Structure 1
Amino acid sequence: MASPIGVAIVGASGYAARELIQILLKHPGVKITTATSRQDEAPRLDALHPSLAKRIDLTCETFDADRIAEKAAFAFLALPHTASMAVVPALRERNVKVIDLSADYRLTDPQVYEDWYGHAHTDVAGLGSAVYGLPELFRDRIPTAGLIANPGCYTSTSILALAPLVAENLIERTGVVIDAKSGVSGAGRSPKLTTHFPECNESFSAYSVGRHRHTPEIDQILTTVAAGQGEAVEVIFTPHLVPMDRGIFATIYAVPRQAAVEHDLLDLYRSFYADSPFVRVVNHLPATKDSAYTNYCDLTVRVVRGRIVVLACLDNLIKGASGVAVQNLNLMLGCPEETALI
């Protein structure tokens, strides 16, 4: 049996990093050889995440591209937005393949990135070469990529829910309404007033209405799916915070170009995702508990008063972050896509 391939976790303190480590510990083809933390002290991984006690014996280091390149062929970046672009060039220069969980490489236009993230992109070359890491749509491009822009939770849910309709030109390109809800872990591990327990518990609220940063990403990828059909896709995306630990649920409303038949739409979705092991097209109305702690996205479609309503949910930390990152790794390694994920 071949020796496991070394992988690095750059930015190991967050929730997505913890989930990623737990998945990779089950992966027969890789070994976590190094992890970094931006904390002044060098904490052990099991100190950052007590659930890892007796499962991994590794102390975090400060970021050093040379040391990572010595120990790892792949690096997962679980860093805040704008931080990844500062380290990706050094890793790529050393032939380390990168799977970036931040949003730094998801938008193809550096001006759009600056407009929505308030920061000039400092690695435009990397931005141009990155492959969007949603296997269900870009499976053919991922295996040979050196830099993967791993999608986020809201974007994965919304794009997977709409891709079949957009690809088949069945809906109007504008006026698509995405009403999405996220558990509190989607806001990250760093304390914030809005996610402080007394503030968010027993409360339900919208945020970033009309200005959420995932909006141009959803537009961009769905417009790519609709390539050659003319008009760009524009969505109205409204996120909400729900007082639960994890999960994303989206209810999406679209105007059909012609009369829609529910069972035909369900057949379309099943055909579109026939080769996608982690998309489940269901007849029932899905719920976040169905997909929690899994790498599955659950989808269904209804026709209501002449409108198409798509309902979709997934686990924001797994299919919405670390799980799809391992899907991408599996494709890059040439091993079964489901490895360590089922």
Structure 2
Amino acid sequence: MKHVAIIGGTGYGAIELVRILHMHKHLQITKIISQSQQGEYLASIYPHLIEFVDTPMEELDINQLKAEIDVVFFATPAGVSKALIPQFRGTNVQCIDLSGDLRLSNSQDYEKWYGGEAAPEETLKEAIYGLPEINKEEIKNARIISNPGCYPTSALLGLIPALQQHIIQPTRIIIDGKTGVSGAGRTPSSMTHFSETNDNLKPYKIGKHQHIPEIEQYLSESVNNKIAVTFTTHLIPMTRGLLCTAYGQLTSDITIDEVIEIYQSHYKSHPFVRIRKKDSYPTTKDVYGSNFCDIGLFVDERTNQLIIMSAIDNLVKGAAGQAIQNVNLMNGWDETHALHTIPMYP
């Protein structure tokens, strides 16, 4: 049994970690770290955890974590983990960062899109991007994992097969993303206020979303060719769920049956990607509460475009579930352990 600490224990990502880890036979939550709520019990904030979490939250003590903990999840806002993870250098502690601090390999890109100083260069070089469908072998030998963002998880899984198999052109790719309110975190704001969100559809961060360079970096790496995308995000009035619809110009005549076969072959060894049959398209409800990514495909012969729809639960495959999938791979456990659950419906 490995001992787990969660740093940033009161956010939605952390609470989803708690839920999934409760089902994990190899991992035990030993410490929940919260600087602002130390001494409080998590169940006093989230009553649904009564009888499941019975230890008070603690203040951060790096030396104690080094001595007592095997796996640390950083469920923290951007700007926190980049200062903490380097302090575990030289140890065997496995670090999984759910923030964006280690996702961009170029320090200048981080400073531009996140508005702060990047992590130390040696930490960026050691961190492995934790999208198992593209980096499974590297993840198995990693000590530091940079967990992908929710939008990039959906967009990359949808687009990479089409680009690698030269089904679509690497230029003029458009991604339309929509997410539930939990993607904005637990801290209230005017944007997520009920009166502002309910019965409303709101575009946000147009042209400046921090997931743009992440999507572009890993699409470019997947085909060894620099790729730029048009990416527009929208907030929709639901709690959780995310769907990206991507549009790419076809390189040649191809049938929908051929495209589906290519995608099925590409993901045949990846248990959490499900390719829909012809004329079947994913919805967020289809993956609610699960670690699945469902992908639907359509060849528009009239406009010569491939339309790719990829749905995930932003808190599971887009955050906590993927983090645990990575830990499973890092430790040689069944990749699906504690994660292969039926989505909740309705």
**TM-score scaled by length of structure 1:** 0.96
SS in 2 for 1:89: helix
Aligned to 2:236: 242
Q: What displacement does 1:174 show? A: 1.8
Q: What displacement does 1:333 show? A: 1.0
Aligned to 2:268: 274
Q: Is the deviation greater in 283-292 or in 119-128?
A: 119-128
Question: Structure 1 residues 61, 41: closer, same or farther in 2, change over 3 A?
Answer: closer
Q: Counterpart amino acid of 2:283?
A: A
Q: Is the 8 A contact 1:163 1:225 kept in 2?
A: yes
**What are the superposed Cα offsets for residues 54-82 of structure 1, whole Å, 9 maximum, x if unpaired?**
01211111111111122211100000011
SS in 2 for 1:86: helix
**Is it true that 1:255 corresponds to 2:252 in the alignment?**
no
What CA distance in whole angstroms lies between the structure 2 residues aligned with 1:153 and 1:280? 17
What CA distance in whole angstroms lies between the structure 2 residues aligned with 1:41 and 1:23? 23
2:291 to 288, 291, 295: 295
Gapped regions of structure 1 (runs ≥ 5): none
**What are the superposed Cα offsets for residues 251-285 of structure 1, whole Å, 9 maximum, x if unpaired?**
11001111231111100110000000000001211
Q: After TM superposition, which residue ranges in structure 1, 4 or more long, deviate above 6 angstroms? A: none
Q: What displacement does 1:176 show? A: 0.4
1:80 to 49, 74, 77: 77
Q: Identity over aligned residues, as a percent?
A: 39
What CA distance in whole angstroms lies between the structure 2 residues aligned with 1:49 and 1:93? 36
Q: Is the 8 A contact 2:114 2:210 kept in 1?
A: yes
Aligned to 2:344: none
Q: Is the 8 A contact 1:9 1:34 kept in 2?
A: yes
Q: Counterpart amino acid of 1:242?
A: I
**Is it true that 1:66 corresponds to 2:60 in the alignment?**
no
**What are the superposed Cα offsets for residues 180-206 of structure 1, whole Å, 9 maximum, x if unpaired?**
100000000011110011111110010
Q: Is the deviation greater in 139-148 or in 40-49?
A: 40-49
Q: What displacement does 1:91 show? A: 2.3
Aligned to 1:335: 333
How many equivalent residue pairs?
Answer: 336
Q: Is the 8 A contact 1:66 1:94 kept in 2?
A: no
Q: Is the 8 A contact 1:158 1:250 kept in 2?
A: yes
Q: Is the 8 A contact 2:242 2:284 kept in 1?
A: yes
1:106 to 98, 103, 108: 103
**What are the superposed Cα offsets for residues 293-316 of structure 1, whole Å, 9 maximum, x if unpaired?**
111000011011210000110100
Aligned to 1:23: 20
SS in 1 for 2:138: coil
Q: What displacement does 1:92 show? A: 2.9
Q: Counterpart amino acid of 2:144?
A: L
Q: Is the deviation greater in 277-286 or in 37-46?
A: 37-46
Q: Equivalences for 1:152-163 in 2 at 5 Å? A: 152-163=149-160
Q: Equivalences for 1:1-342 in 2 at 5 Å? A: 4-39=1-36, 41-227=38-224, 231-283=225-277, 284-304=280-300, 305=302, 306-342=304-340
Q: What displacement does 1:288 show? A: 0.6
Q: Counterpart amino acid of 1:244?
A: M
What CA distance in whole angstroms lies between the structure 1 residues aligned with 2:238 and 2:288? 11
Q: Counterpart amino acid of 1:257?
A: T
What CA distance in whole angstroms lies between the structure 2 residues aligned with 1:107 and 1:320? 17
Q: What displacement does 1:40 show? A: 5.1
Please report the RMSD computed on the Cα atoms of aligned residues, expressed in angstroms. 1.0
Q: What displacement does 1:322 show? A: 0.3
Gapped regions of structure 2 (runs ≥ 5): 341-346
Q: Is the deviation greater in 23-32 or in 254-263?
A: 254-263
Q: Counterpart amino acid of 1:308?
A: L
